[in-house]
A and B are shown apart, each in its own frame.
Chain A
């Protein structure tokens, strides 16, 4: 097991390196370096530019050096927790980002939990009651959930909350807690607001997971050993939970690798619509104003979150399934 964990951790390093390279290329792609556009912008607003500061920044980020050196400066900076400088906010990125990363992780994590809690019973019901009315109804709902883009769902929900309750359901906490240090009351307030984005972001993932769980469980239920068990007169629940469900559970854990990127993607856009204080809106504005260090570190962070999430699901799978940890491979 330890060998497997070590192997998986080692595999993460090249992945993250390549991701950082891609992100760096994206940061570099806009024409001119960011200091030039920064100076141009300041001058167009009639502000004076402190040449000392520019020289300091240029040297600090190694902008006068060749591209590959700049990459290493950026990379080593990140390893030390220095994510670069946001020109729009005139602050180091780490200070700008603040709580947002925590809240993004929180929203994604709770969304995944929600997906599991909802998809699991429904998937089992659909598979064990195949072609019943309940199955058809749930399948239909699932299709609708799959087809409705979650940011539009957020928009529609905002609209109905506004029309029927006269309130805005946006935001992630009551206004008085914004920019306050974390306290129990703030935490409770966040929890109260959390369910709307979670439902909105989780819908399509849940729908997809129900369909896949149903298909997997149906395959399993048609196997010989289930027929044998039924012929021997095993009680239905015991027959279901003893093997087929455990086999399906395997896939359930590994599936997190495929829903996590989509959850994080969805969370970004939904956050813009619902104006959540997560990474989404800030990343959007950073991209629009081409504040590339800020955007780049968000991108890096989101990719990192996904990679770690997949790692956790792989490790959980290895704990569950001896075939994986013994062969060191992935069962899919």
Chain B
């Protein structure tokens, strides 16, 4: 064994000195994946986490499809919203078939022949097996005005020029239910988004003021929230929408209902904002901002809110379904939207009479998209809420 002392004083060639540059941090170095993970922004992390939640992704896709169709309802729907087929009132859903007399013809429906049952006055339709009516794709059909901008006839799917195509049946005026459900999605789905936008703004402003200032402001807001929450929501909605003037135009009624829905819905968000702000305003960075002379609006909006915006968005997603349900219930009762505006609730209004429903059960079909959308929003919101905690 040689001691270091001898080595230094003696001949240096006994020691090996590596020429390679020395990196003192080599042990702590991150793999590329780790580096990506630690450097990723919060939204990036949320997205990665959300992607792993399969149910949420599927629900998100379903919602995306629903919302995309609202942009092009006119094209997706086989008929126009108001087309009346007076020969086919309360026609049942037509089944799509592929084989006619053992021969493959592609997708088609059989024509309907009509007879009136004289004992119970029920309209009865039978499939007429001689009429083969082929479905057409990317075709010209009913004329419509696209978003009220220009007229067009292009549809994704149309009936045979001489035939009919009622995949979900028709209503009491012979209007195609499928087309009406597709058009109804436009109103039913946007009312949720618009409403949540309003209640989001209300919740952030009111909750933000209460949480940031505390004291008597907080006290008043707290009481107000408690009182609003102790009201049964639906009866109050009913009362408020009943006092919308009858002579308002449908568009005004639409906005009126949206505002009414939002007016009672901000309390949950305001509570969340308040409790978060109460904790965050004690943080050092908030004090620093105050000392540098930032105004409350800037501190709340610029420094405090971004810290938990993801949570807020997740909880907002979870409260969209209650708005959609609220609109559906109000319109179902005849207090909400009125025809000519078509929403799922308005469609269901026709299903209110059980005797009619018992004869023509397809009038209840708008229930299905309501349930699908609400389930999807619930799952998607759950996924978002989990994803909003990326480090958990």
Partner-B contacts on A (CB < 8 A): 14-15, 18-19, 22, 26, 29-31, 143-144, 146-149, 151-152, 155-156, 158-159, 162-163, 168, 170, 261-262, 264-266, 268-269, 272-273, 283-284, 287-288, 290, 295-296, 298-299, 302-303, 306-307, 310
Contacting residues, chain B, for A147 (C-beta < 8 A): 321, 371, 374-375, 378
**Which of A15, A22, A146, A284 meets B238, CB within 8 Å?**
A284
Interface residues of B in 307-332 (CB under 8 A from A): 321, 325, 328-329, 332
What is the bound-complex CA distance between A149 and B321, given in angstroms? 10
Identify 9 residue pairs between A and B in the complex whose beta-carbon atoms are under 8 Å apart, listed by A's number. Answer: A29-B243, A147-B374, A149-B325, A151-B329, A152-B370, A155-B354, A158-B357, A162-B357, A299-B239
Is A19's CB under 8 angstroms from B231's CB?
yes
What is the bound-complex CA distance between A146 and B325, given in angstroms? 11
Is B234 close to A, CB under 8 A? yes
What is the bound-complex CA distance between A155 and B355, given in angstroms? 11
Is B239's CB under 8 angstroms from A287's CB?
yes
Binary interface encoding of chain B residues 6-31 relative to chain A, with 1 for a CB under 8 A from any of its CBs, else 0: 00000000000000000000000000
14 additional A-B pairs beyond A147-B375, A163-B358, A295-B242, beta carbons within 8 Å, are: A15-B230, A19-B230, A152-B367, A155-B354, A155-B357, A155-B367, A156-B367, A158-B354, A162-B357, A261-B229, A261-B233, A268-B238, A287-B238, A290-B243
Is B348 close to A, CB under 8 A? yes
7 A-B pairs with the lowest CB-CB distances in the bound complex, closest first: A265-B234, A287-B242, A264-B232, A147-B374, A147-B375, A265-B232, A261-B232
What is the bound-complex CA distance between A265 and B367, given in angstroms? 19
Contacting residues, chain B, for A264 (C-beta < 8 A): 232, 235
What is the bound-complex CA distance between A31 and B227, given in angstroms? 26
**Which of B223, B232, B321 meets A14, CB within 8 Å?**
B223
Contacting residues, chain A, for B239 (C-beta < 8 A): 26, 287, 295-296, 299
Is A149's CB under 8 angstroms from B234's CB?
no
Chain A, residue nearest B236 (CB): A299
Majority DSSP secondary structure for residues of B touching A: helix
Interface residues of B in 348-374 (CB under 8 A from A): 348, 351-352, 354, 357-358, 361, 364, 367, 370-371, 374
Distance in Å from the Cβ of A196 to the closest Cβ of chain B? Answer: 13
**Given the interface contacts A147-B375, A148-B371, A149-B325, does A269 sit within 8 Å of B234 by beta carbon?**
yes
Is B364's CB under 8 angstroms from A156's CB?
yes
Is A268's CB under 8 angstroms from B245's CB?
no
What is the bound-complex CA distance between A275 and B202, given in angstroms? 37
Is A261's CB under 8 angstroms from B230's CB?
yes
**Which of B242, B321, B364, B375 meets A288, CB within 8 Å?**
B242
Contacting residues, chain B, for A18 (C-beta < 8 A): 223, 227
Is B334 close to A, CB under 8 A? yes
Is B364's CB under 8 angstroms from A310's CB?
no
Is A30's CB under 8 angstroms from B243's CB?
yes
Chain A, residue nearest B376 (CB): A147
**Given the interface contacts A19-B227, A159-B358, A168-B354, does A262 sit within 8 Å of B238 by beta carbon?**
no
Is B280 close to A, CB under 8 A? no
Is A159's CB under 8 angstroms from B357's CB?
yes
**Given the interface contacts A147-B321, A307-B230, does A26 sit within 8 Å of B240 by beta carbon?**
yes
What is the bound-complex CA distance between A283 and B361, given in angstroms? 28
Is B329's CB under 8 angstroms from A149's CB?
yes
Is A143's CB under 8 angstroms from B333's CB?
no
Distance in Å from the Cβ of A182 to the closest Cβ of chain B? Answer: 26
Contacting residues, chain A, for B242 (C-beta < 8 A): 287-288, 290, 295
**Which of B235, B321, B374 meets A268, CB within 8 Å?**
B235
- Residue among A155, A264, A307 facing the most chain B CB atoms (10 A cut-off): A155
Contacting residues, chain B, for A296 (C-beta < 8 A): 239
**Which of B335, B358, B367 meets A287, CB within 8 Å?**
B335
